[in-house]
Structure 1
Amino acid sequence: MDNQDVNITIIDRDGVSHKVEAPTDMAMNLMEVVRSYELAPEGTIGICGGMAMCSSCQCYVLSETELPEMQDDEEAMLSEAFNVQDNSRLGCQLHITPELEGLEVELAPEI
């Protein structure tokens, strides 16, 4: 089986840039990657468990990476969230796939 990791840059809430490797074969999403690398304090990200029901994993996409289209529940959640920008996405809705190679995101401020 071909294990493929993608390289992702995540800028934490203190402005520190972290280059991480994320596996594409574990059905992980970006929020889970942030948690596994402990790039946000426990209890401040992924509060709803990745159901697109909170915006604690909101991030700003800084790279030109082609992302899957936003689904209705993600769009609805972001319409109510704080600190939303044009490049905002919910990390729990960005699944780690080979297409995310080179993705660069910044975590939105904690609410």
Structure 2
Amino acid sequence: MGKITFIENDQTVHVAEFEAGSSVRQIAVDNAIPGIDGDCGGECACGTCHVIVSEGWFSKTGTLGGEEEQMLSMTPERTSTSRLGCQVVLTDEMDGMTVHLPEFQM
């Protein structure tokens, strides 16, 4: 079991446990983290699970695929470390990762 920290736009902190192989989106939804809607059910088709990964953790999240890039290109709050939570599969090495939530989801 690992832990991931979600920080809302108003700085409210939520810590959730995860098992390797789960997505950031799934952990957020399972733990009712405010600000992660995940409307498409994790199919990379809506952009409502946008997270901003803390700089030190971004390299561990893998590479952006074409569909994810397209969804993020429409997100006004996109940053250089933005990812869709449905596309980030958690590993044991991600224990302690922090992600920030944008003020608004698409």
- The answer to whether the 8 A contact 2:51-2:102 is kept is yes
Structure 2 residue aligned with 1:38, among 32, 36, 55? 32
- 1:13 Cα deviation after fit: 4.0
Query: What 5-or-longer segments of structure 1 have no aligned partner?
Result: none
Alignment of 1:15 onto 2:11: yes
* C-alpha distance in 2 between matches for 1:37 and 1:13: 17
What root-mean-square deviation, in Å, do the aligned CA atoms of Structure 1 and Structure 2 show? 1.6
What TM-score do the two structures reach when normalised by structure 2?
A: 0.86
What TM-score do the two structures reach when normalised by structure 1?
A: 0.82
- 1:63 Cα deviation after fit: 4.4
Q: Give aligned-pair identity as a percent.
A: 28
Other-structure match for 1:95: 89
Aligned residues: 103
Bigger fraction of residues in helix: 2
Alignment of 1:51 onto 2:43: yes
Other-structure match for 2:102: 108
* Deviant stretches of 4+, over 4 Å: none
Query: What 5-or-longer segments of structure 2 have no aligned partner?
Result: none
* C-alpha distance in 2 between matches for 1:7 and 1:37: 12
Which has the greater radius of gyration? 1
Read off the aligned partner of 2:70 and give its amino acid letter: A
- 1:82 Cα deviation after fit: 2.4
